[in-house]
Amino acid sequence: MTVDYSTIDGNVASGNYGGILNSGNLTINTSKISNNRANQYAGIYNTTPVAGTINMTNSTVSGNISTTGDGGGIVNYNGTMHLVNSTIANNTATSGGGLYNAGGTMTYKNTIVSSNTGGNCLIGFGSNTSQGYNIEDTDTCNFNQTGDQVNTNPLINALGPNGGVTLTHSLQTGSPAINNGTGTGAPTIDQRGYNRIGVPDVGAYEYSAGLDETLVVTATVPSTLTFTVAGVSAGVVCANAGGNASVTSTGSTMPFGTYGGAQTKIVCQTLTVSTNATDGYVITVEQNQDLTSGGSDTMKTFSGTYAIPTIWASPPGSGTESYFGFTTDDTDYSDFQVSKYGSFGGNNTPYNIAMETEPVADEVNVVSYQLEVTVLQETGVYTNNIMYIATAVF
């Protein structure tokens, strides 16, 4: 009988023999026998009357418990067992927690026996022969041949899903099992079906397994920034401006239009930003010059500064100067709130007017401009250029 890529797990016997009872010829490949319970002989029991023979390769015997007697993982009673590249760990019994050879023949090659309660090996009157390159964390199994390591922690992890169809005890980085087996008579794959590369590892699990044990997963998310300037129709409330839009703006123009005597007008625009930048964005605004006519007359900047914005004075036209200023509804700039305005303190000088400190989608800011013209302002068409710059922040 052959058992391949199989799991024999969680069986409970009211007496003895929890997992496998063999008295014939049995081959176990790339399989796991685990978590079975019985009074005695919880995992595998190999016996007569027909001299039982088990060849076990690339397999794990783990977590089996004999509650009141011997032989937690494997018991060989007058039979023959050959273990190659297998792992026997974390089994429990009164004695012989890992293996109990109660007569017959047992051989071991490239095999780990470790962390079994009740002792790793109990050897009766049978033959317990190492064929080399085994590891035991104590010294009870007669591992005394070339490549054997006794009193050596194999540094295996808990039983877990490490690929393949059965659970395995993977090897930790720096395990003495890595590249310390022999290729003579060793399988070309491990319990998971992964290739053994170069000098094979000891036990059922191959650390390299034809792959890097640590896979580097990378994914690149390119930075994005979209910035849109849009106009606002006349009569619409301009947030934080202290009034409604006097005229309709576009994304590229702010036409304050013709002034009839002393008058103040408000124009606003929306600035919409989307970005996946780690620390959000900043928007600045700057002007190239004061509002200037063809005759080189200018309109002054508002008396409120960027550092100390103030509420616009009313009524307009009480003096000889006209004024131009701006405000923002972004509450990160708290000095501008309650309809306060600042001014362009210098030409071609950027001033922050909107920001966010994390990625955003379609975040809308409103920037408003107010222009007060007095009755004494010299006739002419006054122009300047306003420039916004949106910058992603990482």
Q: What is the mean pLDDT of residues 115-139?
A: 95
pLDDT of residue 126: 83
pLDDT in tens, 44-66: 999 977 668 999 999 999 999 99
Question: Which of 76-85, 135-144, 167-176, 319-328 is the least confident region?
Answer: 319-328
Q: Can you give 142-166 as a three-state secondary structure string?
A: CCCCCCCECCCCCCEEEEECCCCCC
Kindly state the percentage of the chain with pLDDT values over 70.
96
What mean pLDDT is reported for the chain? 93
pLDDT of the residue at 357: 96
Residue 315's pLDDT is what?
Answer: 46
CA distance 65 to 92: 5
Which tens digits make up the pLDDT trace of 340-353?
999 998 899 999 99
- Structure tokens belonging to residue 206: 């191959």
For residues 102-129, average pLDDT:
94
CATH, range 225-392? 2.60.40
**What average pLDDT does range 189-200 have in this prediction?**
94
Q: What is the pLDDT of residue 214?
A: 55
pLDDT reading at 310 higher than 90: yes
For position 16, what pLDDT does the model report?
95
Token pair of 257 as six digits: 């239009």
Question: What confidence score (pLDDT) does residue 50 get?
Answer: 67
Is the torsion defined by CA of 102, 176, 110, 16 positive or negative?
positive
Q: Exposure pattern of 92-128 as b/e (b: 16+ CB <10 Å)? A: bbbebbbbbbbebbbbbbbbbbbbbebbbbbbeebeb
Question: Is a pLDDT exceeding 90 seen at residue 329?
Answer: yes
Both tokens of 271, joined, read: 């600035």
Of 385 and 317, the one with more pLDDT: 385
Q: How is residue 28 annotated by DSSP?
A: E
Peptide bond into 316 cis (omega under 30): no
**What's the pLDDT tens digit per position in 222-275?**
999 999 999 999 999 999 999 999 999 999 999 999 998 889 999 999 999 999
Cα(119)–Cα(38) distance, integer angstroms? 18
Across the range 164-169, mean pLDDT stands at 96
